[in-house]
Chain A
């Protein structure tokens, strides 16, 4: 059975701290891994990772994939209160069309 596991489930830090969120996966025919940010409603897309060792970066957020060890990390540096959200990791599973298999999410709270 396909599995995506995120850790920690919850994290509380102070503004300015750096955080690392983890996602491990076991998925047949792996092709890519996606990170989403979910604030109040819809998940919004952050990154898609397909190749090992190549960092994707957007501002203070970055992410990297390790296809040998089957995990990805999402780093956020110099956190701000606006980074408070649930961060979701998802892996597409292909059977005709892709469906996303989501992890439980990491609830990140940034305190001022």
Chain B
């Protein structure tokens, strides 16, 4: 069964460093998402991406964040200058259509900022 994959599974970085989290969505899916979950808190939407552009972003997704689909398979989330409060589990998700279709989640990347 096709699945969303994410790398790395765990990333430790120092405050102020740049990190890139990578995702390979399901191959025929068209809509891509990043969510994050701070330990013990709700899963929160960060950004949605369709047709090579951001379709929606949350208040969390400020200028320090960017997303890219550099080729036909990868979908990346970059945090330019990490802060302690960026420590969280970051989930990538994809879906076939923008409506009435479940989102499939990757296993997540645990980001620890020290």
- Within B86-105, the residues touching A (CB, 8 Å) are 89, 91, 93, 95, 98-100, 102-105
B interface residue count range (under 10 / 10 to 19 / 20 to 34 / 35 or more):
20 to 34
Is A32's CB within 8 Å of the partner chain B?
Answer: yes
Known A32-B100, A99-B48, A105-B42; contact A41-B89, beta-carbon cutoff 8 A: yes
Asked whether B99 lies within 8 Å of A31 as measured between CB atoms, the reply is: yes
Q: How many Å lie between the Cα of A107 and that of B99 in the bound state?
A: 28
Closest to B6 in A: A42
**Is the contact region of chain B dominated by helix, strand, or loop, or is it mixed?**
strand
Report which of A41, A42, A104 forms a contact with B42, defined as CB distance below 8 A: A104
Asked whether B102 lies within 8 Å of A48 as measured between CB atoms, the reply is: yes
Q: How many Å lie between the Cα of A34 and that of B55 in the bound state?
A: 21
Q: How many Å lie between the Cα of A42 and that of B99 in the bound state?
A: 21
Asked whether B108 lies within 8 Å of A42 as measured between CB atoms, the reply is: yes
- What number of A-B contacts does a CB cutoff of 8 Å give? 69
- Within A73-108, the residues touching B (CB, 8 Å) are 88, 90, 94-105
- Per-position contact with A for B11-47: 1 when CB-CB < 8 Å, else 0? 0000000000000000000010101000001111100
Asked whether A42 lies within 8 Å of B105 as measured between CB atoms, the reply is: yes
Asked whether A98 lies within 8 Å of B42 as measured between CB atoms, the reply is: no
| Residues of B bordering A, CB below 8 Å | 4, 31, 33, 35, 41-45, 48-50, 55-56, 58, 89, 91, 93, 95, 98-100, 102-108
| Residues of A bordering B, CB below 8 Å | 31-32, 34, 36, 41-45, 48, 50, 88, 90, 94-105
